[in-house]
Amino acid sequence: MIRQDAHRIDPKRRAVIDHKKRQFAVPIYKQQEYPHRLNFYETPPTAEITLEQFEQWAIDRLKILAEIEACSYRNKSPAETATYITPLLQKFLPLSSNTSSSNGANDSRLKNERQKDHYSHFILRLAFSATEDLRRRFARAETMLFRFRFQNDDSREKRAFIDSLSLDWEPVSDFERTEVAESLASSTPGLRRVDEETWYKVDWEKVPELIEKRSVYLKKGKAYVPGREQLSMIMAEFTARLERALELTSRALPRLDEDDRLTPILNHLSKNFGSAESVYSEGEGYVDGAPITASSIDQLAQQHFPLCMKSLHGNLRKNNHLKHFGRLQYTLFLKGIGLSLEECILFWRQSFKGKTDDEFNSQYKYNIRHAYGEVGGDVNRRGKGYTPYSCQKILGDSNPGIGQTHGCPYRHFSVDNLVGFLQATGVNDKETLRGVREDVGKQRYHIACNRVFESTHKNEIKKVKEDGTWSQTDLDTIVHPNTYFKRSFLLKQMARAPKDS
Amino acid sequence: MPHSVSPTGAAQTDDEMPDAPPAETSTGNSGVKLADMFDDDDDDEFPASSAPDVNMKEEPAPAPSGVDQDIMLAFYQRLFPFRYLFQWLNHGIVPTKDFGNREFALTLQNDAYLRYQSYPTADLFRKDILRMNPSRFEIGPVYSTNPRDRKTLRGGQMKPVSKELVFDIDLTDYDDIRTCCVKANICAKCWSFVTMAIKVIDTALREDFGFEHILWVYSGRRGAHAWVCDPRARNLPDDRRRAIAGYLEILRGGSQSGKKVNVKRPLHPHIVRSLELLKHDFARTTLGDQDTFESAEQAERLLALLPDKNLNESLRKKWDSSPGRASTSKWADIDSLAKTGKSSTLNPATLRDAKQDIVLEYTYPRLDAEVSKKMIHLLKSPFVIHPGTGRICVPIDPHKAEEFDPLSVPTVMNLLAEIDEYDAKHPAGTAEADVAEVEGSAMNGSDTKGSRKLQDYEKTSLKPYIEFFRSFIAGLVKEERAGKRERDESGPGIKADPMEF
């Protein structure tokens, strides 16, 4: 797929020294040059930087990646993401095009920017190669960042950059294009004129999605891809190379232990990245002084629970039972709002009316204690069990099957059932319901949920805004069921006890 | 151990058919017919867990074809081309991992199913097959380690690394459009569906994907398998296999989904070419041999696929008035009635498209796509005996696909009889051949230069099939060798083919 040479270490980077002197020599690397704004991050950096730079650059890049990830978790559209990210990028990780300077690529400002981009990428690679999960997320966020920059790139520079990648793309000559024009036209959907596009011949294995949809012309193992598919091919290439590189990095990682200056920084970095996904940190959902006991759940559920938990609670009350994943999702949520283990066991015991004590103790109790980290392996106990599920986790996990009730109603209910359920829980505002339908149609489930929250807490929100007691950040988009609960609970609290603070 | 069976013996066992399977009478039409148990579609990844278990209880007796254990063993001893099979999977003469780490799955005479068998060399392979005397065996992927060692490895260590890209065509998928036979039965009329499928798939694989080494094999009863052996095809990961399957799949949907062909216009070149190939077959087979639309029910199905209500009305009137009107006439009626301009709403282009779709629906290959999508899928080996019919799974020359007649494929009883017949005529050769066989796989290259001993298969009608297989392997090995030459300079030494017999 890629020309073999791309993997080889560039010969210029080898220390070319008389072999007799080699053992005393320090390897000398040529300084990286950055002729292009974009970087495929093929060659690792070799120059020296200070520890402060090491840390600062990594943190700056991490901020960007975390924001990008958050945007995708909140289902922001590409345009919204762009407006949100652009100022941040300008601040933390600027990357200017050659045309922005009179000196072009030789300008030292550009060089510094590009160096920072290059180095920070590789530092984060080290930090995020340790586990499969981190690797996947890192690759995803980096790809999004790359895509964003690539799309904003100057078209001439973009072309120069692509040419420099030595991808195995063969441009289709004008002669050949006219020869197969008819086939190209009939196999490429949405094409107006064949000669408007630049065409490339690539191995068909590079564009499996196009092959599967039968929307590309294929001849003797070569796919004839129009230029506008370039972006997706570049992205695929970028992700593929990055994933492979991360895999290799992870294998090399154990040998890094020798350096006791870098390891702590790297560990710290990878921990910070974790917070982007589960916005929830321990104790965040707790509300001090709230009377949360097994007996108060019914009332709380009705008033403050997000729709997913209301659905679980309703099902539990209706059937006196919940299936495994439903129990897990709900138990963790209850744990998150501050229900103690004893109360939680009591709650489930009372809820499972059809079960005898023996059945309950043997089949269910262990799982509850496990979720709280009472039992189980060392890791589980030390980590105090599982963290309550975030919206991301609930949305992304396997869809509920027959008889299962976990998941997110906005995502997993049919629209009509969803609206019916919303009305049953007291959301009757026409405007809100219409908005929900629209959001769900666009797969913006968070927005739908937040819309419902804003609608049901309209008066309280208005009040705290007017008071100035809550700033806009306190009313940020909710991406965790426990945040939903806490905010709802606090808002009602405020309304009930006015002007106390 | 009798090394052959007399023709009379074979005939006798053939006659035993009626009383052999009790299942047929007891379970009636519940579909557990013995013939179906032994069927040749290998769409189950772990057949051991399903069909054979059921079978074991009721049928230890010989299969309906009269193939008993002795015949099976005689076949393996005297006729089965172990060496060629080895060379085919090994892609060369010197045993490599391509063969050594290849999974074989054996179905034993008692219907136990043994997975993860592997053999380092052709001799050991032959020896074990003779020892186990399986009723058939299947070929799986090459694994990263020897499949026999899988239990000594930690989970996930053994990964499939390559396998031929395979396709499976089965006439049972054509039941709704063939009028001559159902289920496991076939005749020359419906075999032409398989012929069409071979032509279309073979052409697409060669012209579009650029594959060259495609082995078509008769599956022994009512279908055919394709093994794409090009190195590029063998190393495809699953998602690329899925892409190819999707590219080739045009008919979608189950029995209730109505119109099965929904292709975009303009037609993709692959579909245009397939239509060109299938046009005449449609006229000959669907309209002629099958006379598919003769029955009122099928005619109604045809009407459902046509776009214009008014036209349908006039067609229905016409056909109702002359019951039993031949399909050819009915098909012609569509155009002639359309031309009269009775229907004002009719759009000629829509009608043309609909007719194209109908041609595709009634002739385009119906692949069992799941078989192709997974590298780990097992597929029955070429040259084994189909236990239901006794026929050998012989290769089909795709260039002469029309000439292939499944009903004249030799059965194992024919072949053994042919050996006896030959030996009776040429008494001198018999002893020699026997010696060679008793000594197992000892090679007899040098001492027989003058009058080479005849292999048993050469005395039978299996000869042309094995020779076809051999020439196929020669082409494959040649390319493989060309690819390896750079690394392997000892190449010329191999030329004196030590395995040649």
Q: Are residues A158 and A175 in the same domain?
A: no
Q: Looking at the partner chain, which of A189, A217, A220 has a beta carbon nearest the beta carbon of B269?
A: A217
pLDDT at B56: 39
Spell out which residues of chain A touch residue B208, defining contact as CB-CB under 8 Å.
218-221
How high is the pLDDT of residue B106?
95
Nearest-neighbour CA in chain B from A4: distance (Å)? 15
Question: Residues A74, A446: contact at Cβ < 8 Å?
Answer: yes
Query: Over chain A, what is the mean pLDDT?
Result: 81
Q: Do B89 and B139 form a contact (C-beta atoms < 8 A)?
A: yes
Do A153 and A199 belong to one domain? no
Residue A453 CB neighbours (<10 A): 21
Catalytic residues of B: 103, 168, 170
In this prediction, residue B219 carries a pLDDT of: 93
pLDDT at A425: 87
Does residue A244 sit at the B interface (CB-CB below 8 Å)? no
Say whether B246 and A212 touch across the interface (CB within 8 A). Answer: yes
Nearest to B208 among A189, A213, A218 (CB): A218
A38 inside domain: no
Q: Do A444 and A326 belong to one domain?
A: yes
B227, A196 contact by CB (below 8 A):
no
* Angle subtended at Cα B106 by Cα B108 and Cα B241, rounded to the nearest 5 degrees: 150
Residue B254's pLDDT is 56
Same domain, A171 and A157: no
Which amino acid, A224? Y
3 state SS for B428-449: HHHHHHHHHHHCCCCCCCHHHC
Return the pLDDT at A14: 53
Query: What tokens does A159 get?
Result: 């072309």
Of A385, A415, A402, A267, which is closest to residue A325 (Cα–Cα)?
A402
Please write the tens of the pLDDT for every residue from A162-185: 888 877 788 888 888 888 888 888
| Residue A497 confidence class, pLDDT cut points 50, 70, 90 | low
| A354 close to A410: Cβ distance less than 8 angstroms | no
CA distance B328 to B293: 9
What are the distances in angstroms from CA B439 to CA A223, B235, B430, B435? 53, 38, 14, 6
What residues does B379 pair with on adjacent strands? B139
Contacts of A205 in chain B (CB under 8 A): 236, 240
pLDDT at residue B486 in the model: 52
Q: What is the 3-state secondary structure (H, E, C) of A301-334?
A: HHHHCCHHHHHHHHHHHHHCCCCHHHHHHHHHHH
Interface contact flag, A220 B210, Cβ < 8 Å: yes
Angle at B439 between CA B2 and CA B146, to 5 degrees: 100
What is the torsional sign of CA B88, B94, B96, B99? positive
B246·A185 Cβ contact <8 A? no
In a domain, A29, yes or no: no
Do A157 and A92 sit in the same domain of this protein? yes
Residue A79: which CATH number? 1.20.930.80
Contacts of A221 in chain B (CB under 8 A): 208-211, 232
According to the model, what pLDDT value does residue B430 have? 46
Distance CA A105, CA A319 (A): 68
Residue A39 belongs to a domain = no
As a whole number of angstroms, the distance between CA A239 and CA A244 comes to 8
Same domain, A82 and A207: no
pLDDT for position B190: 87
Instruction: State how far the Cα of A348 lies from the Cα of B470, in Å rounded to an integer.
Output: 70
* DSSP 8-state code for residue A75: T
Do residue A322 and residue A175 come from a single domain? Answer: no
Question: By the CB < 8 Å criterion, does A179 face chain B?
Answer: no
- Put simply, whether A240 touches B (Cβ < 8 Å) is no
> How many Å apart are CA B307 and CA B309, to the nearest integer?
7
pLDDT higher than threshold 90 for residue A252: no
- Residues B440 and A42: their CA atoms lie apart, in Å, by 56
For an interface test with B, give the residue of A214, A220, A239 to mutate (most B CBs within 10 A).
A214
Q: Is A183 on the interface with B (CB under 8 A)?
A: yes
| Closest chain B residue to the Cα of A188, Cα to Cα | B268
Q: Residues of A comprising the binding site for [4Fe-4S] cluster?
A: 308, 391, 408, 449
Whether residues B236 and A205 touch (CB distance < 8 A) is answered with: yes
The count of domains in chain A is 3
- Least CB–CB distance from A211: residue in B232, B243, B271: B243
Do A211 and A145 have their domain in common?
no
If asked whether residues A208 and A311 sit together in one domain, one would say no
User: Given an 8 Å threshold on Cβ–Cβ distance, is B246 in contact with A217?
Assistant: no
Q: Please, how many CA atoms are within 13 Å of residue A34, restricted to the half-sphere of its CB?
A: 27
Shortest distance between the Cα of B161 and any Cα of chain A, in A, equals: 16
Range of the domain at A105: 51-163+239-272
Please state, in angstroms and rounded to a whole number, the distance separating the CA atoms of residues B78 and B4: 9
Among A45-49, A261-265, A321-325, the minimum mean pLDDT is found in: A261-265
Residues in B touching A214 (Cβ below 8 Å): 246-247, 268, 270-271
A186 neighbourhood in chain B, CB within 8 Å: 266-269, 272
Q: Which CATH number fits domain B63-250+367-426+458-485: 1.10.1030.10, 3.50.50.60, 3.40.470.10, 3.90.920.10?
A: 3.90.920.10
Q: Is residue A158 domain-shared with residue A217, that is, in the same domain?
A: no
A12 falls within a domain: no
Q: Pick from B486, B416, B498: which is nearest to B86 by CA?
A: B498
Q: Which pair of structure tokens corresponds to residue A321?
A: 């039972």
DSSP-derived 3-state class of residue A450: helix
Q: Which residue of A has its CA nearest to B249?
A: A212
A55, A189: one domain: no
Residue A277 confidence class, pLDDT cut points 50, 70, 90: very low
B269–A212 CB contact, under 8 Å: no
Chain B residues with CB under 8 Å of A211 CB are: 243-244, 246-247
On whether any CB of chain B is under 8 Å from the CB of A150, the answer is: no
Residues of chain B under the 70 pLDDT cut: 1-65, 154-156, 253-258, 342-343, 428-452, 484-501
pLDDT of residue B339: 84
What is the helix (H) or strand (E) element at residue A170, kind and residue range?
A: strand A170-171
Query: Does this model's pTM top 0.80?
Result: no
